[in-house]
Amino acid sequence: MLPIATLGLDGRAVINTPTLRERREARERRARIIGQLHAQANATSNHVLAQHKVIEAHLRGIVLWRRAKFILIGIGFMVFGLACLLALAAKIVIAL
């Protein structure tokens, strides 16, 4: 910090330089602020990671549901096809 010159009571210039204690206190304040910023950044990253995991789990559930629906629809078509073949086979047998 640069010294700041002011006029004293007697009219002479007085240089206001910070004392060692003031410098140490300023350094400690900066260290506390930096510590708080680190804590906030860690909390934010943990929160984002948790949200990401929740979104992944939700998407995984959607994919599994769609896959199950696709398989069930396919099984339904196979059963319908087999029923048609059996009905056709029964008509052929009856016609003979």
pTM, whole model, 2 decimals? Answer: 0.49
For the chain, domain boundaries: 4-68
Count of CA atoms in the C-beta half-sphere (13 A) of 21: 0
Whole-number pLDDT of residue 3: 54
pLDDT, tens digit, for every residue of 28-85?
999 999 999 999 999 999 999 999 999 999 999 999 999 999 999 999 999 999 999 9
Contact indicator for 1, 15 with CB cutoff of 8 Å: no
pLDDT band at 10 (very low <50, low <70, confident <90, very high): low
Q: How far is CA 32 from CA 6, 27, 56, 69, 89, in A?
A: 31, 9, 36, 56, 85
Question: CA quadruple 15, 16, 21, 26: dihedral positive or negative?
Answer: negative
Count of CA atoms in the C-beta half-sphere (13 A) of 89: 6
